[in-house]
Each structure stands twice: as structure tokens, then as C-alpha cells.
Amino acid sequence: MMAILKRELSSYFTSPIGYVFLAVFYFFSGLFFYSVLYSNTTDITYVFSGLFTVLLFIVPLLTMRLLSEEKKQKTDQLLLTAPVSLTGLVMGKFLAALCMYAIALSVTVVYALILAGFASPEWMVVIGNIFGALLLGAALISIGLFISSMTENQMIAAVGSFAVMMFILMMDSFATMLPAAFSFVGTLLQSLSFMTRYTELTTGILNIGTVLFFVSVAVVFNFLTVRVLEKRRWS
Amino acid sequence: MIEVKNLTKVYGDKRAVDGISFTVNQGEILGFLGPNGAGKSTTMNILTGYISSSSGEARIGEFDILENPLEAKRRIGYLPEHPPLYLDMTVQAYLEFVYQLKKVRMPMKPHIDDVCRRVKITNVQNRIIKNLSKGYRQRVGLAQALLGNPDVLILDEPTVGLDPKQIIEIRSLIKTLGERHTVILSSHILSEVQAVCDRVIVINKGKLVADDTADHLSHALTQDFRYIARIEGPEAEVEKLLSSLPGMESVECHGMKEEGVYEYTLEAQKDTDIRRNLFARLAERNWPLLGLKTTELTLEDIFLRLTSDQPVDMDEPDNGPMPDPREVPLENRAEHAVVSLDESAVEEAEAAEAAEKSTENGGGEV
């Protein structure tokens, strides 16, 4: 698992993908941070709530080639015949993307420190925000990884992930648009809303239910990814 | 060391591997011979745990590949048909990755250097794999399989894409590997298998059609009483003389090949060696025999022969492990019946396969 994690992490930096991801992330978070500074506040929440939409668009960059490219280049033959369990393999990939994401996210610590230079921010809110963003990232990455495991074309994986991410973004508005007869679907969608839960985290409310929700999403999709790989050997 | 019992893999309604059983002993080099699509790669993929079998079992040492995959895989080095290389890495970084992936316990740097020396890639160790030629990539793939000194090496067509010099090098490397490892190697080149392997298994359409030592097999297969002779002398008279030789079945003239020299195909009766007699009689008449060779069996001939109705004339008749109908499970019997009813279609497919094969070999295989 460590070997896979290390290789994936270094491959982010030997291809443009890692840099594009970091550049886009830094650009938007910088923009949001600028507006925080501009509005003369130490409330960093705006940076994180703004990042929600950005993340939905750039997380597929991290995950699109994780498994699809292995299949295409036939390097999965190396991984699947090595003495590594499928769970270890998927976790290696997942953690590599999560590490990359954490590297990007670490810039917000710098922002918080800059703010601290002016006046002390509410540290618990800052920590809660960073923690929430990590949870959201873990959930989104596991979804992207799952989609990547189902195809051997990284473009299809990317487009598929974008579609799912868009759906996650618009889930709440879909829920309100549904006709009365389908209100139960609306309730279901609302109860699965990523946005409401994440917004709640960014306001500094650390709800165990919310934490469990994101962790469960990550666990479920990583589990499904393992199943997809397992199924491929049996078909 | 390797034990395979009744291995079967079904894709939809196609049986890619159909009830194959064999064992490989420690330190043996086993050759898998078969046309494309015969099930060689599938069998190897099952042995290495890349895909699972539909039924049957495969054991590496005392570990079943399905029940105890991690232990079994630890003992295998696998070079698939397409070497599984990360093109954007350097050879060194790639080998370090595989080293860590396989959790090798030997000291890393000397071990990787040693493997690189053995497959002769030391000079490209710091180059990016993308920029390497096919031959070097193949060797990096081989190096990857050798990492950790696994007991069992499974090599799927290891010499494809190499130039003749490299082929000879890789073959001799595999031979030396056979001293320390148990090796299974697949190929569709008969001479390669003959040169390298102690024992040969021939697979066709997912079935095992022969399992014997290379010598026995080639003996059984090339014990062909057909010769091509070049004889200087008047065509009609020579032909008459040849036909009158005891034990001669048929004589066919192919016309003049050099000035006054004609080429003939001679077919003798089984178990008759006509060569001495032929020489003596020609010498009597003072017609020089300029060349005499047995017709070389191409791989296509061998497959047609091994897969045709007539059993191959093996030295030990018991050794031709055609599946015993009594051992075939009930649900398979129906299919066997269908296959035998549809013999002509099967032969057609075979011919097509052979044709494909020959164009492929013509395309600069060696």
C-alpha cells in the first residue's frame, strides 16, 4: 500500500495534473481569501464555503486516471499479481489522492496565520473548517475513484465524475423542483445533501452525524471500488 | 512446485481454458506452446491470480492461488504479454516501486543492481521507460519479474519484439534462470520452446493436447518420412529409380532447381529408413545427391497434427492426455458432442488461425 501511495503521489508531480490541480485550487482559494481580507474580517469561513463548488470540479482531476489508466496500460497486471490485497491497492490510491488534496488544502493554514497577524481568528472555527474540507474531499475522492475503476478511459472517468459532481451540487435544487407526487424522492435527496452538511461544518458546528455521513460515503465507495476490481477478475 | 488441476475458465459461453491439468517440478522449465487465443495467457493469468478460474485449482508450492493469494503471489514473478510498465518513470524508480510493492526483504540497491546486470539493462537504468525500445522494455519487464528472486517465474512470450541477438541472450538467460527458479514460459515459436524448455505442454482451444519432454515431442512430430532431395541426373530416369526403392511410398518432382539438378519430394513408408539405400542406388548410377533434408514441420503442421483426429504417435501412448470422456463432467459432455458434430467448422477455424499465425510470423517475429 505504501508503495502504491508513494508512486501515485510522485506521478502527480511528474505529470501536469498535479500542478494544474494545485494551481486551480490556489487560484480560487486565493481569490476567496482576498475577498475575506477585503471585507476586513477574520472569519475564514467564506474561503471554505466557496471552495465547495471548486472542489466538485477539480477533484475528478485527481481521481480520473487512478484506476482507469492502470487498466489501459495493463499495469494493473502488475498490481493485481503482486502480494498486495485489493483493499491495500484501493487504499493506496485513495490515500495518494487524499494526500495531494491535503497538500492543496494546507494553504488555508497559511491564510489563517496571515489573519492571525491582524487579529486572532476563532481557531475552533478554522480547525473545524479545515477538518470539514478534508472530510468532504475524502468523500468526493472515493466517488471519483469508484468511477475511475469502472472504465479504462480516463476521459470517460473524468466526464462521469463531473456529471456526478454536478448532480451533487444541484441535488438540493432538484429536490425542491420535484412535483408533489415525488416528494419522497425530494426528501431522500435532501437527506443526502452534501451542501447542507458541508455548510453546517463551515459555520463551525461539528455534528457527529455530519462527520459520519462523509466518512460513510468514503467507506462505501472505496468498498464498492474494491468490489468492482474483484468482479473484474471473476467475469 | 506448481500444480494445476482441471483448470477451467469460461467467458460467456466460450471456454477459454477447458479442464487443463499439469504439474511442474522444482527447477523445471516448462514451455507452453499454442496458437494465439489457445488459452496460454489465460492460464498464466489464472496461475498468477490476475483473473480467477471458473473451476479447478492452481497451487503454487503449498498455497492455493484463490485461497491463499498473498502467499502464493509472493512466490511468483510474472512477465505478462505486455510488460506492465509505467511509461513516465525511470527504470530505476520503476524497479524500486516494484521492489516495495513486492515487499522484498533483500537490501534494495544491490538487489536491483544485480537484477539489472542479469538482464543487461544497467546502461538504461536512469532513463525514462517511455523512451526505451521494445527490446529494452521487455527486459525491464523481465527484471521486474525477477525482483525478489521468486521461486516461480511465469513468462508470457518473453522474446516477442526482440531482435535475434537479444532473443538468444534472453533464451540463455532463461536457461540459467531455470537452475534457480521454476519457469513456465509461453511461446508460439516451436524452436524457442525446444531450445529452452525441459518439458512442453501444447494447448489448443483451451485444451491440453500434449504434455511431454521437448525431445519426445519433437521426435514424435518430426518422425516424418518425407524428404526433399536434390539430385543431379535425367529427371524421368531418376524418378523411376526413386520409385523403385523399397519402402518408397511416393515421389514427386518439383522441376529443375539448378542446371541439371531436380528437386524431389520423397515419401517413405512408416518405419523405413530409405536414406542409405537411396544414397547407394544413386551412387551406383553416378547421379550425385546434392541435398537431402527432412521436411521441416511448421508450427501450423504441428497444430493441425496434434489437433486432428489421428492420435500423435507418442513414444508412450499414455502420455497424450486427451481428456478422458469419463472424466468430463456431465454438463460438458453435451458440448463435446456439439464440437465433434461440427468438425468441419472447427477445421475451418483452425485453418484461419494457422493463416493468421503465419502472417504474424512473417511480420518480422524473429
Between B303 and A183, the more confident residue is: A183
Position B111 scores a pLDDT of: 94
Q: Is residue A114 part of a domain?
A: yes
Q: Is residue A74 part of a domain?
A: yes
Q: Is residue A95 part of a domain?
A: yes
pLDDT tens across A63-110, in order?
Answer: 999 999 999 999 999 999 999 999 999 999 999 999 999 999 999 999
Residue of A nearest to B97 (CA): A3
pLDDT tens across A179-228, in order?
Answer: 888 888 888 888 889 988 998 888 888 889 999 999 999 999 999 999 99
For B84, the closest of A2, A7, A78 (CB atoms) is A78
Position B80 scores a pLDDT of: 93
Instruction: Note whether B256 contacts A: Cβ–Cβ < 8 A.
Output: no
**Comparing C-alpha atoms, which of B85, B84, B79, B143 is closest to residue B114?**
B143
Position A33 scores a pLDDT of: 93
Average model confidence (pLDDT) across chain A: 91
Position A228 scores a pLDDT of: 94
Q: Is residue A234 part of a domain?
A: no
pLDDT tens across B11-63, in order?
Answer: 888 888 888 999 998 888 998 888 777 888 899 999 999 998 888 889 998 89
Instruction: Note whether B131 contacts A: Cβ–Cβ < 8 A.
Output: no
Q: Which residues on chain B are in Cβ contact (under 8 Å) with A3?
A: 97, 100-101
Asked if residue B221 lies in contact with residue B190, where contact means CB atoms within 8 angstroms, the answer is no
Q: Which of A71, A73, A77, A84 to mutate to test the interface with B (most CBs of B within 10 A)?
A: A77
Q: Is residue A72 part of a domain?
A: yes
Position B182 scores a pLDDT of: 92
Give strand pairing partners of B10: B15
List the domain range (segments joined by +) for residue A17.
Answer: 2-229
Task: Examine the predicted complex and report whether its ipTM is higher than 0.95.
Answer: no
Asked if residue B57 lies in contact with residue B5, where contact means CB atoms within 8 angstroms, the answer is yes
Rounded distance between C-alpha atoms, residue A160 and residue A152, angstroms: 12
Q: Which of A65, A67, A78 to mutate to test the interface with B (most CBs of B within 10 A)?
A: A78
CA distance B85 to chain A (A): 6
| Domains parsed from chain B with CATH numbers | 2-75+151-221 (3.40.50.300), 225-294 (3.30.70.3100)
Asked if residue B223 lies in contact with residue B32, where contact means CB atoms within 8 angstroms, the answer is no
For residue A28, how many C-alpha atoms fall within 13 Å in the half-sphere facing its CB?
20
Distances in Å between the alpha carbon of B266 and those of A200, B223, B225, B325? Answer: 92, 14, 8, 39
**Comparing C-alpha atoms, which of A212, A168, A210 is closest to residue A56?**
A168
Find cell 485449482 and name the residue: B57
pLDDT tens across B208-250, in order?
Answer: 888 887 767 666 665 556 788 888 888 888 888 888 888 888 8
* A72, burial (CB in 10 Å: exposed 0-12, middle 13-18, buried 19+): middle
Which three cell numbers, joined as nine digits, stand for A60?
475528478
Position A125 scores a pLDDT of: 87
Rounded distance between C-alpha atoms, residue B34 and residue B188, angstroms: 6
Counted domains in chain A: 1
Q: Long-range pairs for B161-170 at CB < 8 Å and ≥24 separation? A: B161/B134, B161/B135, B162/B134, B162/B135, B162/B138, B163/B135, B164/B366, B166/B135, B166/B139, B167/B192, B167/B366, B169/B120, B170/B138, B170/B139, B170/B142
Residue of A nearest to B69 (CA): A83
CA distance A6 to chain B (A): 8
CB contacts < 8 A (A, B):
71
Between B172 and B304, the more confident residue is: B172
Rounded distance between C-alpha atoms, residue B232 and residue B322, angstroms: 46
Q: Is residue A184 part of a domain?
A: yes
Q: Is residue A116 part of a domain?
A: yes
Q: Is residue A165 part of a domain?
A: yes
